[in-house]
Amino acid sequence: MIREYRTTVEISGPLMFVENVEGVTYEELAEIELPDGTIRHGRVLEVNESMALVQLFEGSSGVGISQSVVRFLGKSVELGVSETMLGRVFDGQGRPRAPFDTFPPIVPDRMININGSPLNPYARDYPAEFIQTGLSSIDGINTLVRGQKLPVFSASGLPHSAVAAQIARQARVIGEGESFAVVFAALGITFEEADYFIRDFKSTGAMDRAVVFLNLADDPAIERIATPRLALTAAEYLAYQKDMHILVILTDMTNYCDALREISAARREVPGRRGYPGYLYTDLSTIYERAGRVKGRKGSITQIPILTMPEDDKTHPIPDLTGYITEGQLILNRELHKRGVYPPMDVMESLSRLKDKGIGKGKTREDHADLFNQLMAAYSAGKNARELAVILGTAALSPLDQQYLRFAEEYERRYISQGEGENRTIEETLDLGWELLKLLPREEMKRVRPEHLDKYWPAGEHS
Amino acid sequence: MTKGTIRKVAGPLVVAGGMAEARMYDVVYVSDMRLLGEIIEIKGDAASIQVYEETWGLGPGDRVYSTGEPLSLELGPGLLTSIYDGIQRPLDKVRERSGDWISRGINIPGLDHSRRWEFTPTATVGSAATGGDFLGSVPETATVEHRIMIPPGISGTLAWVAPAGSYTIDEVIAKVRTASGEEVDLRMYQKWPVRRARPVQKKMAPTEPLVTGQRVIDAFFPVGKGGTACVPGPFGSGKTVIQHQLAKWADAEIVVYVGCGERGNEMTDVLQEFPEILDPRSGKPLILRTVLVANTSNMPVAAREASVYTGMTIAEYFRDMGYSVALMADSTSRWAEAMREMSGRLEEMPGEEGYPAYLGTRIAEFYERAGKVHCLCSGEREGALTVVGAVSPAGGDLSDPVVQATLRVVKVFWSLQARLAYMRHFPAIGWLESYSLYTENLRDWYGKELDAGWTALRNGAIALLQEEANLQEIARLVGAESLSSEDQLTLFTARSIREDFLHQNAFHEVDTFCSMRKQVRLLGLIMSIHESLSRAIGAGASPKDLFSLPFRESVARARYVPENRLEEIDRILETAGSEIEGVLEQTARAGEGA
């Protein structure tokens, strides 16, 4: 049953109030026909007696009260999915997006509600398969595993796009030739940035294995609320129905949160910190928690959301709440970037919570965990020494502190730093770690089990 | 049954009219999908309902049916090893019914009503019977005996008790004749509303520590059995690892773990790990003493609000049997946020940061359900319920209203420091900022169970760490080399306390759990060496020579000594002693030479 109404009584920001409606349900999809025949879309945010509150995806400009016809479609927002989505570029509502994609719409295999249902925690399988990204700062230190959600906390002016593209290009599980695909959602980023990713995907042949959803900076902001959910719906279909391993890249989540704030403000809700709605955590979790693995199903969804921290501030609500939901974070550091370190990964503040299950014997190598602990401890001591050197001068440092200082320099220059095209194997990364540790006295290796120390750094070998 | 009609739908909040007869906190079924909800406000004939499931597709005109009962749990055999959502739906059964994703309107009872349990009666017919008295027992798991109790509020004489045999929880296993001559049928399970604390005879102060096997907690900031503790910290500081460690190693007989609005994978981790890990005391898998409540962040927000109460009620039920129970709630901030969200939808006047004005009251009420108690029964029985709540303050800022409201009620504060986490010092519990108000209560227990000198040892170590903090400021300015020998020794020992004692690797097979006996030896080792060094320095030995002695490396490895070979730690002390002695002799000889 399709019902048409000409009873719009108020338009305010991206919201529209329609009166005297009947049988309208929460989250229902609505179509708004303007006098010139253009169709806009929206969804029901609230129904109160006979009044419906509709959120307009394309914004309200050009929508009038008297001439608009509102139709409620009796279903919630859905995405038509099919395997032929691979290689295609869609807009923020799932339609082919010119000029990147000039083909006709896909023929859907099925229609799926974009909100998904919560995955039963009992049905989850713990992510434990090591993904080799070829970046030492990730593989060696903040190891990514299949089914993890690991965001990149970046800031304006930092090369997060290059890092994400490099991960998308190089990521693989060692020794497996399983089907792998990238789902990429652009949320309010510029044409240039989106174009960078698409060109990168095309030039490396990754485009054939990619599904792209674009909501660019000049596209309607409210549409961004739906875009990540479209991307994840496509990802879930490919992962769990078509047995593929999907890497989902969402950039930039800050723009998504701002769109959410816009709607919240228009609804005059009680704001939480910095004007973001109190339910930001819950809302973000319905996106991030859609990463994972499911028992008995082959595919998986690994998520790398990217967000830019306003004023490089990690305690801003967006990175803060994201960090509470995701399984770690990769933080890019402006100071390292200025010193020419690429990727400018702040390994001290970055963290992969799932790494412990993804590393070690049979996954990477038996010494990985101890080596990681030792490298972190040594780098931390080196950074302390560097601070001290600023105050006292290098000459005043103890000989041991000087060794640590040198270690920290070399660690940044050789371990964290690498080329945009450089794809290191995990063995190369681990061996490099040992090589650098040998800049220090052997008895400083407190975090390494004696058996590993003896194997990778036999007593008596130079230090 | 009251029937109403939906007027308004806004997210998890539904307002229904025609509900004049409804009562606060009654459970209702919403729409013909029978979505579960709870009444949280009544205005005239309109009831505001928080719905425990997603509400898309609901609209004005849909029907609402009241059950006339508050949200209650089924308490009986079958709780252990279960994983429930926030309103006690068993997630394994939900999966059987609805597949990998949770669909709506699934109502499955919390306990398996078809399973048979071996019941052995322990009560005698004709005896006086009152709420909390045992009727019999059921071997629920290999480690836990489930004691079947008379529900609170029933008293009289025991008229009949079933003979030993196997019964389902629906079969009558006893009858009590009340004072009015009425016979009440009793089954192996009882129902209890989640928002009401289960009654006890009397509360007492904790006098025994909950030994957790985590050195920084047991030695420095212990929590008593029946006490309350909170762990606030920014993300990445290791709240969840600490909660998991406590759930694994704490010497409680029953552990209830509530994953409230947190990550799905964390619950999977517990589910996969706990059947594998053996309890160091019973030698049986940890899962056999564990109940899990999992309402992850992507599950409906209203059920998240209920989940902490569900966990608490289950924990109280086992406490009533006379067990020592530990409840871990991770994270109470998500619970508070769920309250905030519902409060916002109800358009209540907000308090601090949008949280409802009753936030502090609710938090206090929650923690007050912990305690060491004389259980409700006609005899003497002691039970304890320890509650440890994680708090996730926005931006790691402790002025957060949830942290502040929590600190007003809990007695132990484990302050997680981002600074320590970056240095990969785990557990990242700050030794200068944390506190425990139980140390005085526990003094007698330490005196009896541990070394008599334990309290002095511990206080000495804490004093050194405090002194270190002061000295570090100076050392930063003038360099460690220019400090006096005594001060250099303080820095040396404090570093050893931090690195060789407080630092503990949760992922190392030996280090993950450290018994009190081993803790006493480890700290004793470090402090004895400190004394020897102090004497040596007093006799004129050079700190440089002393601090570079090889014993440093063996002290660093002492914490990896397995529990069954603790005498190795004594040998390390002997070696260290003779090395220090060696330096002293050299000093003396050099002195003679000069």
Residue pLDDT, tens place only, A245-285: 999 999 999 999 999 999 899 888 888 888 899 889 999 99
Residue B297 to residue A325, Cβ atoms within 8 A:
yes
Contact B37, B70 (CB under 8 A): no
Residue of A117, A279, A392 with shortest CB distance to B103: A117
Poorest-pLDDT segment among A263-277, B309-323, B560-574: A263-277
Q: What is the DSSP string of B292-338?
A: EEEE-TTS-HHHHHHHHHHHHHHHHHHHHTT-EEEEEEETHHHHHHH
| A48 contacts B54? CB cut-off 8 A | no
Inform me whether the pLDDT recorded for A57 exceeds 70: yes
Return the pLDDT at B479.
73
The CA distance from A137 to the nearest CA of chain B, in Å, is 15
Q: Write down the pLDDT at residue B473.
A: 84
- Whether the per-residue pLDDT at B43 is higher than 80: the answer is yes
**Which residues have a Cβ under 8 Å from the Cβ of B499 and sit 6 or more positions away?**
A446, B556
pLDDT above 80 for A213: yes
Find, in chain B, the residue whose alpha carbon is nearest to that of A121: B264
For residue B234, pLDDT over 80 is answered with yes
Neighbours of B517 (CB within 10 A): 13
Average pLDDT over residues B506-531: 93
Phi-psi region of A27 (alpha: psi -120 to 50; beta: other; left: phi over 0): left
Residue B516 confidence (pLDDT): 93
Query: CA B108 to CA B209: how far, in whole Å?
Result: 38
- Residue A195, min C-alpha distance to chain B (Å): 33
Query: CA–CA separation, B580 vs B225, rounded Å?
Result: 42
Provide the shortest C-alpha distance from residue A240 to chain B (in Å). Answer: 10
Amino acid A462: pLDDT: 59
Record: contact A27-B57, CB cut-off 8 A: yes
In this prediction, residues A139-156 reach a mean pLDDT of 95
- Residues B104, B34 contacting (CB under 8 angstroms): no
Give the β-pairing of B174-177 and B190-193: unpaired
Q: What mean pLDDT do residues A205-230 have?
A: 91
Q: What is the mean pLDDT of residues B186-193?
A: 96
Task: Measure the N-to-C terminal CA separation of chain A; round to a whole number of Å.
Answer: 79
Cβ B69 vs Cβ B26: under 8 Å: yes
Contact B289, B79 (CB under 8 A): no
Strand partners, B27: B38
pLDDT of res. B1: 64
Which amino acid would we find at residue B53? E
In this predicted structure, the answer to whether residue B594 has a pLDDT above a threshold of 70 is no
A vs B, Cβ pairs < 8 A, gives 207
Between positions 503 and 522 of B, the ones with CB within 8 A of A are 505, 507
- CB B395 to CB A315 under 8 A? yes
pLDDT at position A360 over 70: yes
Q: What residues 84-113 of chain A have any CB closer than 8 A to a CB of chain B? A: 113
Structure tokens at A191: 């044409």
SS3 B284: coil
Please give the pLDDT value at position B475. 83
| Lowest-confidence region among A412-421, B229-238, B366-375 | B229-238
Out of A270, A356, A443, whose CB is closest to B344?
Answer: A270
pLDDT value of position A292: 94
| B456-514 pLDDT, tens digit each | 999 999 999 999 999 988 887 777 778 899 999 999 999 999 999 999 988 888 999 99
Residue A2, pLDDT > 80, answer no
Cβ contact B51:B8 at 8 Å: no
State how beta strands B371-375 and B190-193 pair.
Answer: unpaired
Nearest to A269 among B60, B98, B344 (CB): B344
Cβ–Cβ below 8 Å for A124 and B265: yes
% chain B with pLDDT above 90 = 76
Q: What per-residue string of b and e applies to A107-145 under the rule 16 or more CB within 10 Å gives b?
A: ebeeebbbbbbbbbbbbbbbbbbbbbbbbbbbbbbbbbb
Which residues are CB-contacts of B93 (< 8 A; sequence separation ≥ 6)?
A: B108
3-state secondary structure B150-215: CCCCCEEEEEEECCCEEECCCCCCEEEECCCCCEEEECCCEEEECCCCCCEEEEECCCCECCCCCH
pLDDT at A191 over 60: yes
- The Cα–Cα gap between B409 and B370 comes to 11
Which H helix or E strand runs over A230? Answer: helix A227-236
Q: What domains can be seen in chain B, in order of their start residue? A: 3-70 (2.40.30.20), 112-188 (2.40.50.100), 200-423 (3.40.50.300), 454-593 (1.10.1140.10)
Mean of the per-residue pLDDT values of chain B: 93
Q: What is the 3-state secondary structure (H, E, C) of B408-470?
A: CCCCEECCECHHHHHCCCCCCECCCCCEECCHHHHHHHHHHHCCCCHHHHHHHHHHHHHHHHH
Give every CB contact of residue B257 below 8 A, 6+ residues apart in sequence.
Answer: B243, B247, B270, B290, B291, B292, B293, B311, B327, B328, B330
| Chain A residues with CB-CB distance to B339 below 8 A | none
B 426-485 residues with CB < 8 A to A: 476-477, 479-481
Cβ <8 Å between A320 and B394: yes
For B190, the token pair is 């009882």
Instruction: Give the strand pairing for A78-81 and A110-113.
Output: antiparallel
Reduce the DSSP state of residue B9 to 3 states and report it: strand
pLDDT in tens, B154-181: 999 999 999 999 999 999 999 999 999 9
pLDDT(B427) > 80: yes
CB A290 within 8 A of CB A121: no
Q: Are B213 and B513 in contact (CB under 8 A)?
A: yes
What mean pLDDT do residues B239-245 have?
90
For residue A293, what is the nearest residue in chain B, using CA coordinates?
B265
Question: B358 CB near a chain A CB, below 8 Å?
Answer: no
Does A74 contact chain B (CB < 8 Å)? no
